[in-house]
Amino acid sequence: MTAAYDALLVDPRASLGWLIEFTAHNVATDLDETVRLSTFGFTSEPSDTPANEPYEARVKSALNFERHMYRRGGRIGRSSQPSFGEIVLVNLDRALTKYTNPAQYLIRGRKVTAMLGGTEDYALVDFGTPLKEGRVKDFVARNGQLRLLIRDLQELFERAVQPNKYAGTGGNEGGAELKDKNKPIGYGDIFNCPGVPIDPANGVWQLHDGKIKSLKAVRDKGLVKTLTTDYTVDLNTGLVTLLFTPTDVRFDFEGDNTGSVYVESFADILERVVEAITGLTVNSTAVTTMNTANSAPCNYWCGTEKISIRQMLDDLADGPGAFFGDNFNAQVDLGRLEAPSGTPAIEFFGNQGIASGNVNNILAGTLEPVATVEPCHTLRQAYQRNWGVQSRDSLDASVSEADKDKYSTEWRFKSDSDATVLDDYPEAKEQTWYGGFSNAADADTESQRKFALYKVAQEVFKFTARAIPFKLGINDVIKITHTDHNLSTGKLFRVLGLAIDADSRKVEVWVWRPST
């Protein structure tokens, strides 16, 4: 960001100008074209890139959107929330109507960029990019307007984790029953996996579509088999060949080892999956920060049924209490929800009006509490998922009772509890968190951390403020000082959500802190 752009964001009286670019695929030429529009009429300079390009004044409403750390309506710290918004364009002369005709142009799923700057003596290079890259999800053309419905790049997370499918032609491509089924993918230390019998007549099972780090154990009816005598393994293809006739076979293995680099932390798995399948870039600084906070080994296995990237990452994020999403800068961010601390990015006061600099004012009457779940008196953290649960009756009689418990139970748990919580909160509940932790010690550590956060009341508020909406980001720490809600001495909060109205320069903010 330039100094001119930073100054613009904190000046409540500045005249703002928007530039919008979206990609339209010309069906006739089979080429992509960039459509350039603005709120005020703008032409780039000869020295700009692109040079001498007009941005026609057709933007009526630029970049109204919402972003949330988690899906609203449930407990804090659960599924991720894709961002959404819209851009409204003037189309009284119907000059933009051609972009809505799929026989002429295709715009759904294609790139859109929103740039913000001043309207006078402002060079293209000085414009900031609150939305560096989004996607046109859909459009509505009526009443002399073209509305572009925008989604962030997290839309790409609906793709399958397993990119390849079986051809069903026999051998390593499986029989007819596997045609068009997904090839399995595994990350981390997978326990008691059933694998996929791709050529059972020849004893061939597939654990992972690609290179794995190791095969730790093969068991049939709970009895351990011997390498070479009972089975062979090809670590480069994730294929196991059984040299016996199985009854109820299971496998323990360490999964994806692409490029001989094995990954098993939540952050490292996210980075590999997202970049390999979507082509998006993951914020490397955020990966390092997340690994510093929690680098515990995790695991996840996807069989032949489609598992979306979003579903897998949501499931895994439940372990370390993490979040992830598009940061609107053409990158994927991630982090962990923690109690707010440190120096606030912005300080808000409960006085009506507009302020500049690092101080902002909450509009009168807009600060209000948001309902959330009751505190918990017990928190259970799952670990060592059993990917192929077996009935005790299917196991050999010689298998120990302890092992029968392991092989017949889907999850193991560590827990923390405090009965005195019920004294203050009679409606307190038990919380269960899943995720993908491989080890008991890591689950125990995380159970203690989460319990400290969630055994107390959750203070969640929303409010509306003016100015500097684009200075705020998800997970930022802010400070609120207000005469209401016991905030007179000021408290720190974390930003959970933002709803920005670019035209009015208002932002609705959702914030959270554990009560102390």
List, for residues 401-419, the tens digit of each pLDDT value: 999 999 999 999 999 999 9
User: Prior bond to 50 cis, omega within 30?
Assistant: yes
Same domain, 381 and 504: no
Q: Is the domain of 510 the same as that of 380? A: no
The confidence band for 439, taking pLDDT boundaries of 50, 70 and 90, is: very high
Q: Quick one: DSSP state of residue 483?
A: S
Beta-bridge mates of residue 165 = 182
199-209 residue pLDDT tens: 999 999 999 99
CATH number at residue 484: 2.40.30
- State whether 64 and 7 are in the same domain: yes
pLDDT at residue 469 tops 80: no
285 CB-near residues (< 8 Å, 6+ apart): none
User: Which is it for strands 54-57 and 42-43: parallel, antiparallel or unpaired?
Assistant: antiparallel
Report CA 349 to chain centroid distance, whole Å: 31
Where residue 351 falls among pLDDT bands split at 50, 70, 90? low
* Least confident interval from 118-127, 240-249, 379-388: 118-127
Most confident of 1-10, 282-291, 499-508: 282-291
Angle, nearest 10°, between helix axes 266-277 and 309-317?
170
Inside any domain, residue 60: yes
Residues in a beta bridge with 146: 89, 141
Rounded Cα distance between 114 and 155, Å, is 18
Does residue 307 lie within any of the structural domains? no
What pLDDT sits at residue 153?
A: 85
Q: Which residues on neighbouring strands pair with residue 324, listed in sequence order?
A: 334
Residue 467 in this model has a pLDDT that exceeds 90: no
Kindly give, in sequence order, each residue whose CB lies less than 8 Å from that of residue 343, ignoring residues fewer than 6 positions away. Answer: 477
Are both 146 and 93 inside the same structural domain? yes
- 5-19, 264-278, 365-379: which has the minimum mean pLDDT? 5-19
- Please indicate, yes or no, whether residues 462 and 399 belong to a single structural domain of this protein: no
CB atoms within 10 A of CB 222: 22
Lowest mean pLDDT among 69-83, 149-163, 307-321, 421-435: 69-83
pLDDT band at 516 (very low <50, low <70, confident <90, very high): confident
Domain assignment present for residue 102? The answer is yes
pLDDT in the model for residue 12: 67
pLDDT category of residue 235 using cuts at 50, 70 and 90: very high
Predicted confidence (pLDDT) at residue 3 exceeds the cutoff of 80? no
Tens-place pLDDT, residues 91-116 = 999 999 999 999 999 999 999 999 98
pLDDT over 70 at 231, yes or no: yes
Same domain, 429 and 509: no
In a domain, 239, yes or no: no
Q: Are residues 124 and 70 in the same domain?
A: yes
Q: How far apart are CA 369 and CA 75, in angstroms?
A: 15
Please say which residue of 135, 151, 167 terminates a domain. Answer: 151
- Residue 76: which pLDDT band, with cuts at 50, 70 and 90? low
Q: What is the pLDDT of residue 354?
A: 44
- The whole-model pTM stands at 0.91
Q: What mean pLDDT comes out for the span 498-510? A: 86
Per DSSP, the three-state class of 147 is: strand
Does residue 193 lie within any of the structural domains?
A: no
Q: Could you tell me if 389 and 362 lie in one domain?
A: no
Average pLDDT score over residue span 269-280: 96
Final residue belonging to a domain, choices 151, 184, 212 = 151
Question: Encoding tokens for residue 314?
Answer: 């949501």
Of 431, 454, 477, the last residue of a domain is: 454
Q: How many domains does the chain have?
A: 3
Q: CB neighbours of 185 closer than 8 A, spacing ≥ 6?
A: 161, 162, 208, 209, 210, 255, 256, 301, 302
C-beta of residue 319 within 8 angstroms of C-beta of residue 267: no
Q: Are residues 121 and 39 in the same domain?
A: yes
- Residue 314 above 80 pLDDT? yes
With cut-offs at 50, 70 and 90, classify the pLDDT of residue 370: very high
HEC secondary structure over 375-413: CEEEEEEEECCECCCCCHHHCCCCCCHHHHHHHHCCCEE
Q: Give a yes or no: residue 268 inside a domain.
A: no
pLDDT tier, 358 (very low <50, low <70, confident <90, very high otherwise): very low
Residues 391, 462 share a domain: no
Same domain, 359 and 475: yes
- 32-52 tens-digit pLDDT: 999 999 999 999 999 999 999
Q: ∠ at Cα 211 (233, 281), nearest 5°?
A: 165
> Which residues, including other chains, have CB under 8 Å from residue 362's CB and lie 6 or more apart?
348, 349, 350, 351, 463, 464, 465, 480, 482
Considering only 229-238, 335-344, 468-477, which range has the smallest mean pLDDT? 468-477
User: Is pLDDT of 506 > 90?
Assistant: no
**Domain assignment of residue 364, given as a range:** 346-372+457-514
pLDDT, position 79: 59
Percent of the chain at pLDDT exceeding 90: 76
pLDDT grade for 468, boundaries at 50, 70 and 90: low
pLDDT-above-70 percentage for the chain: 95
* Inter-residue contact 331 to 471 (CB < 8 Å): no
Nearest to 135 by CA among 120, 149, 116, 121: 149
- Mean predicted confidence (pLDDT) in 423-446: 96
Considering the domain boundaries, does residue 245 fall inside one?
Answer: no
380 lies in the same domain as 499: no
| pLDDT score recorded for residue 222 | 98
Indicate whether 195 belongs to any domain.
no
Please, which residues bridge with residue 466 across strands? 506
Mean pLDDT, the chain, whole residue set: 92
Go through the chain and tell me how many residues it has. Answer: 516
